[in-house]
Homo-oligomer: A and B are copies of this chain.
Amino acid sequence: ELFPWGRLGRIAAGIARDGGGFTYELPPGARSLRRQLARRSVEWGCALSPDDFVVTCGAMEAVQLSLLAVARQGDAVAIESPAYFGSLQLIEALGLKAVEIPSGPRDGMELDALERVLKTRRIAAVLVVTNFSNPLGCLMPDANKERLVAMLAAREVPLIEDDLYGDLYFGPSRPRAAKCFDQRGLVLHCGSFSKTLAPGWRIGWVAAGRFRERVSLLKFAQTIATASLQQLAMAEFLAGGHYERHLRSLRKSVAATMRSLGDCVAAHFPAGTRATRPEGGGVMWVELPAGISALRLHDRALEAGIAIAPGPIFSARQGYENCIRLSSGVVWSPRIEAAVATLGRIAAELPDRRMPAGRRAITGS
């Protein structure tokens, strides 16, 4: 059993049968859960108190509340490029402008590029997935996190840190959160249990620093509260030490799957393909030889029953036309291996759009 839903379900069932979880656990959220989050924050290199947290409907609401707390309509928010399409949609939905900062597949957001932007225009906030970003799978080094926090503190710019993948590290220890370098209360640390334990439970948090009161008010104004049963059950599950045990086996499994995925891409994709080898998380960024259209690959793959995310959806600007994001499941299987091989074959067969039309007609399949 890869996810301890049996135990989690029994805990929730016990609480529900005893009449728990039916009344509000108003913002900032159930104290029992915030106490456990504070305990966990030591893992992130922080030592937060239960009072630092606001419980949310997953990390996505945490980011939404953070954006609303620190930015006003029309404001610019700096974000990685490529960036999670959901975050780009959210920024637009809130009437904000995404300023995309180039990000490398190894170290994440390029801080020199960010600094140049900060010098030339007003940025209301920076939104970064610090650990194993989606779609790049990149990990911002500790030194960069420290520099980023300092760079923003000097300008009083809030940092919204989306740390939803941090617990899915493959190395010996969890990467730190940028939050641990925060001396000014300017970092809003967002996270959830959706990627590691129970997506449908919708339990996340934001440790919002000096914006905690405003986030708490906004949470009330927007959704009143997060579902109580899951708050209480998650607190009990964490208090029992079950989460740490689960993470140890989950990480092993995901790491093995990601290795297999990387090997499979290397074996079956056309020459010239470059793929990231992330040290955590569950996504891989694949750059196909220039001229191969990710959107066409996406369409052809769908016809074969294979879902991939084409590069262009990870930017509001043009770009990433020849890139795709692959997601690993938790367990590798012959079926997945066959699908990746098929994907590589389709990619190899796609006409190169850079070729003139006549040439393509001759060489096309």
Contacts and interface: CB of A to CB of B under 8 A. Distances in A.
Interface of A: 3, 5-6, 8-10, 12-14, 16-25, 57-58, 60-61, 64, 68, 72-74, 86, 89-90, 93-95, 194, 198-202, 217-218, 220-230
Given A10-B16, A68-B94, A227-B229, 11 more contacts: A5-B22, A9-B18, A9-B20, A12-B13, A21-B201, A22-B200, A57-B57, A60-B222, A61-B223, A89-B220, A200-B229
Which of A22, A24, A89, A220 has the most chain B CB atoms closer than 10 A to its own CB? A22
A90 to B, nearest CB: 4
Which of A21, A61, A64, A223 has the most chain B CB atoms closer than 10 A to its own CB? A223
- 4 closest A-B pairs by CB: A200-B228, A73-B73, A13-B13, A9-B16
A231 B61 CA distance: 18
Contacts of A222: 60-61, 64, 90, 93
A6 B25 contact: no
Contacts of A225: 199-200, 202
Contacts of A94: 68
B22 A89 contact: no
A279 B16 CA distance: 33
B9 A19 contact: yes
Instruction: Say what secondary structure dominates the interface of chain A.
Output: helix
Contacts of A20: 9
A94 B94 CA distance: 8
A76 B22 CA distance: 36
A114 to B, nearest CB: 24
A143 B226 CA distance: 37
B10 A22 contact: no
Contacts of A58: 223-224
Which of A9, A25, A61 has the most chain B CB atoms closer than 10 A to its own CB? A9
A207 to B, nearest CB: 19
Nearest to A72: B95
Contacts of A21: 200-201
A5 B25 contact: no
Nearest to A20: B9
Given A17-B9, A222-B64, A23 B199 contact: yes
Contacts of A229: 12, 200-201, 227, 229-230
Contacts of A95: 72-73, 95
